[in-house]
Amino acid sequence: MTKPPTPIRPLLALAAAAAVALGASACGTTTADVENGRTLFIENCGTCHALAEAGTKAQIGPDLDDAFAAARAAGEGGETIEGVVESQIAYPRPGNGDPAVSMPANLVEGQDLEDVAAYVGKWAGVPGAAPPEAPGGPGAQVFAENGCGGCHALAAANSGGTVGPDLDGVLSGQSAAMIHDSIVDPNAVLTTGYPANVMPANFGETLTTEELNDLVQYLVDETGGGSGGSGSKGG
């Protein structure tokens, strides 16, 4: 979900599209999984959109709290926002070939689309919303808020992602500097079995220095790293 050159359209202008999306959802037999929607949002949308409850701060696309705050304050419920989100993901404005201002259609589909829409519908524009506190300290919080567990397994975070390598194994024995480099330049050295460009290469820009240092220290502490080993990184 990336930033259009003009502000996001008012909620009422999307009422028809929202009604169609809500009608389609109502005909299904599945129940939205808001927690899965949160993970998917952070992974697929959080690199472009700010949303306070997700802890995402990107400004490539509209700030979703700002976009829906007026509707929330006017008494619009989460189902209406959910319908708008479903419609905009499935049918974004026409792309112009510039990934900086274009949003591809169907970033998530099916049940995943319902889950993301339900999550945004529940939290977008909610006053005082903030990410839940992750056990394990500030580095654990960075790990959780940036969707790392959706791609990586890490026992300490109770995550079981398989898109990227199992961090308990791949980071064991690595120095803090090596872990740092694997985060900010994941394509430099790839873990066997994982192709390039699986992991976003912009964490050096999207994380503050403090957040990055906290994340590195957390991974060192939880995987037995820091001893200066020569394990693979990246992926």
Q: Please say whether the beta carbons of 33 and 92 come within 8 A.
A: no
Burial 139-178 (b: 16+ CB within 10 A, else e): bbbbbbbbbbbbbbbbebbebebeebbbbbebbeebbbeb
Q: What is the residue whose two structure tokens read 């050159």?
A: 5
Which pair of structure tokens corresponds to residue 90?
């499935």
**Domains of the chain listed by start with CATH number:** 11-123 (1.10.760.10), 138-223 (1.10.760.10)
CA distance 118 to 31: 10
Q: Write the DSSP symbol of residue 235.
A: -
Which pair of structure tokens corresponds to residue 19?
């009604």
Residue 227, pLDDT score: 53
Residue 106, pLDDT score: 87
Full-model pTM: 0.65
Q: Please say whether the beta carbons of 190 and 235 come within 8 A.
A: yes
Residue 224, pLDDT score: 87
- On the CB side of 170, CA atoms within 13 Å amount to 23
Give the mean pLDDT per block of 10 residues along the chain (235 residues).
Answer: 41 40 44 91 83 84 94 90 93 64 83 96 95 93 86 90 92 95 94 89 91 97 69 44
